[in-house]
Amino acid sequence: MTSMETRTAGKIGDSPLRPDGTLKVTGEFAYSSDLWHDDMCWGVTLRSPHPHARIRGIDVSAALAVPGVHAVLTHEDVPGLNRVGLEHLDQPALAEDVVRYQGEPVALVAADHPETARRAAKRIVVDYEELPALTDPRRALHDDVPQVQPGGNLVRELKIRRGDPAPTAPVVVALDFEVGMQDQAFLGPESGLAVPDGEGGLDLYVATQWLHVDQQQVCRVLDLPPERARLHLAGVGGAFGGREDLSIHVHACLLAMHTGKPVKMSYARDESFFGHVHRHPAWLRYEFGASQEGELVYAKADILFDGGAYASSTTAVVGNGGTLGLGPYNIPSVTVDARGVYTNNPPCGAMRGFGCVQAAFAHEALMDELADRVGVDRVEIRARNGMREGDLNITGQVIDSAAPVAELIRTVRDLPLPPEAQGERDIRDLPGGAANSTHGEGVVRGIGYAVTYKNVGFSEGFDDYSTARVRLEMTGGEPVATVHTAAAEVGQGLITVEQQICRTELGIERVVVHPKNTMVGSGGSTSASRQTYVTGGAVKAACEAVRASVLARAASALGATGPRLDGDKIVSASGEVLASLADVLGDEAVEETVEWHHRPTFPIDPETGQGIAHVQYAFSAHRAVVDVDVELGLVKVVALDTAQDVGKAINPDAVVGQIQGGSAQGMGLALMEEIVVTDGKVRNPSFTDYLIPTILDMPPMQVKVLEYADPHAPYGVRGVGEPPTISSGPAVAAAIRAATGKALRRVPVRPEHITL
């Protein structure tokens, strides 16, 4: 990644253009799959065809004999600890005696052409003994099922107990809900380039969400100290959680160390479906008790997440699904049981919305049912039960900044509706579109609402910090700041935000974003909607340290007390110009590095689930309008409107872009996106068969951004990226229910769910 700057001024609250925009529209931006090196080899992965099997032996001789092959590696070639994993070290980098899911990496090949490597990999003979596979997570904790991991099939069980342990209520509604397995479907394939340094170490250029955790994992498997395995962020083609776990990282490094050559790896789309974790499928059983007026008295939830063969971030997903799984409502008595289990299905982990997406489908469907039962408007029942600032959530934590649930849901209700369908319509606006399956006959309109909240940042006691290094110097007669963090830019626009914060704090125009790498301290993960908050906080703090250092230098040089920085001038307390910044800096640079931590969180009580689990909450609401062809079961989303509190929009245009894109992903899960797994095998690992919304599927969106500053966060920011993905899908599902009268207790909603 090249360092970047734009001359476009833009402080916080403005919407300057992103500094990599021109590179991206000219084709010059170097994504991880674009990298190239003299004399490089191509690496490929051989993966298990079976969901569960014992490996009796691996014969690589035929593969090694293929001309052009430089290395064929198995677990026996791993120099360090052959284990990876974000929260549990439970996954071999290369399979040893057992494979636990279809697609598990077994062997690696490096060759001088990717096709040579692929053909050689097919000549590796793996002697498998197939084992019975556990593919139904609902049976994972039964006695008579295969044990996926040595420690049993339970990854985490979370309990929340609050209020009356045996509550009753005059109105009781209940439902079972099921959510399919969604894929992040980032467009840039997993890819990177590992380059040996000739001194026993290497540099890895890779697309990722968290360089430093990758570095730890690479070093553990390669048995290298961190200074010998330097990671660099290559251009990232989207992430959405799917790049939190390792993909090519360790494998490319192993091949590079063994061959002594640079090794490039880049998955094709089918391999990508096996090469990263997915969103957990979930089974949810919910019950709400309420007064005759629809005021919640109690809630019970039983949530099961299928973690697949390895834990990945299942522990934290269960944490979110449990602690946030009843939605942004005031509920006096609560019983929640959330579990994540191992199976022989594909491993599941992080995806945008992280445990809250699944739960929101259930609590929002049940809220509609309660509204209908007690005869209260579906918007008003949410407003009536919605959290407000100062309320306690179900873990007993005070919501200590804005919680505008009622305002958000009423705001989306009051946005203009699309015009009612009249007369002859453009078939492209109808369900089925250009397939010409209807001209309006059999088409019914429905409107649905949903509201959500999501934690921002890492939770339950995790020390969640970021590091920023800011350097200020004169270049060509102008002050220039360089901001260096390891926080991953994955497309969301963090680099623009880093520039805006530097301009705001230092009062200068030119800000260079240093390439992101492990030569500065950790930036933490680009996930949990946290980077503007946490890395933004670190950049702000580093700028403040730079400013203090410059002013201390000015005070001592000029003998002034309390000087201030005003643009490129040093001024006295009364505003008189004392010196130029150039005079104070001279030929020297002022550089400060700051590690910035957000407010601490704490583990929850293991028996009651009570505690201060999360640092911040972000709220959003959606209204969906759909037209449904009830004869064919086809759905056209006509409008998808939203309101969200972002605390403070550092870059309003980018905030809206996040909300629009996030909403599309939520809509995709409601309507079309599912990795179909039968008997532990993925049936649709391609963009032919795994559908994501196209420009024809997405409706126009009205986006209403509220800015209720969080007094505890830098500039009052509130995480933005995830809430839209959580509340959009349930609103779409609700709209389809409203149009069809069907219960629709599973997403994605398929045509047969509507017609049968």
Partner 1 sequence: MRIELTVNGEHHEADDVWEGESLLYALRERLGLPGSKNACEQGECGSCTVYMDGVPVCSCLVAAGQAQGRDVTTVEGLAGDDGLDPVQQAFVDCGAVQCGFCTPGFLVSTHDLLARNPSPSDPEIREALAGNLCRCTGYEKILDAVRAAASAGAQA
Q: Which residues bind partner 1 (CB under 8 A)?
A: 15, 17-18, 20-22, 24-31, 33-34, 36, 113, 115, 184-189, 235-240, 266, 268-269, 426, 428-429, 434, 490-493, 653-654, 656-657, 660-665, 686-688, 692-696, 698, 700-701
Would you give the DSSP letter of residue 329? Answer: B
Q: How far apart are the C-alpha atoms of 339 and 317, rounded to whole Å?
A: 10
Tell me the closest approach of the beta carbon of residue 687 to partner 1, in angstroms.
4
Classify residue 26 by burial, with Cβ atoms within 10 Å: 0-12, 13-18, 19+. Answer: exposed
Nearer to partner 1, 183 or 629 (CB): 183
Nearer to partner 1, 112 or 372 (CB): 112
Strands 616-629 and 681-682: unpaired
Tell me the closest approach of the beta carbon of residue 698 to partner 1, in angstroms.
5
Tell me the closest approach of the beta carbon of residue 690 to partner 1, in angstroms.
9
Tell me the closest approach of the beta carbon of residue 702 to partner 1, in angstroms.
10
Q: How far apart are the C-alpha atoms of 305 and 314, rounded to whole Å?
A: 8
Nearer to partner 1, 115 or 576 (CB): 115
Task: Residue 361: name the closest of 452, 241, 242 by CA.
Answer: 452
Angle at 244 between CA 231 and CA 620, to 5 degrees: 130
Q: How far apart are the C-alpha atoms of 247 and 678, rounded to whole Å?
A: 24
Q: How far apart are the C-alpha atoms of 143 and 140, rounded to whole Å?
A: 8
Tell me the closest approach of the beta carbon of residue 34 to partner 1, in angstroms.
4
Q: How far apart are the C-alpha atoms of 466 and 448, rounded to whole Å?
A: 39
Nearer to partner 1, 8 or 315 (CB): 8
Tell me the closest approach of the beta carbon of residue 20 to partner 1, in angstroms.
7
Strands 634-645 and 465-475: unpaired
Which residue carries 């957990």 as its tokens?
Answer: 280
Tell me the closest approach of the beta carbon of residue 378 to partner 1, in angstroms.
25
CA distances for 158 relative to 141, 178, 322, angstroms: 15, 19, 7
Nearer to partner 1, 273 or 596 (CB): 273
Nearer to partner 1, 264 or 471 (CB): 264
Nearer to partner 1, 565 or 656 (CB): 656
Nearer to partner 1, 192 or 307 (CB): 192
Q: Give the count of beta carbons closer than 10 Å to the beta carbon of residue 131.
A: 16
Tell me the closest approach of the beta carbon of residue 269 to partner 1, in angstroms.
4
Q: Are 29 and 189 in contact (CB under 8 A)?
A: no
Q: Are 528 and 439 in contact (CB under 8 A)?
A: no
Tell me the closest approach of the beta carbon of residue 352 to partner 1, in angstroms.
10
Nearer to partner 1, 235 or 716 (CB): 235
Task: Residue 728: name the closest of 353, 376, 445, 402 by CA.
Answer: 353
Task: Residue 275: name the closest of 484, 438, 103 by CA.
Answer: 103
Amino acid present at 689: D
Q: How far apart are the C-alpha atoms of 319 and 419, rounded to whole Å?
A: 42
Q: Give the count of beta carbons closer than 10 Å to the beta carbon of residue 708.
A: 18
Nearer to partner 1, 268 or 551 (CB): 268
Tell me the closest approach of the beta carbon of residue 191 to partner 1, in angstroms.
9
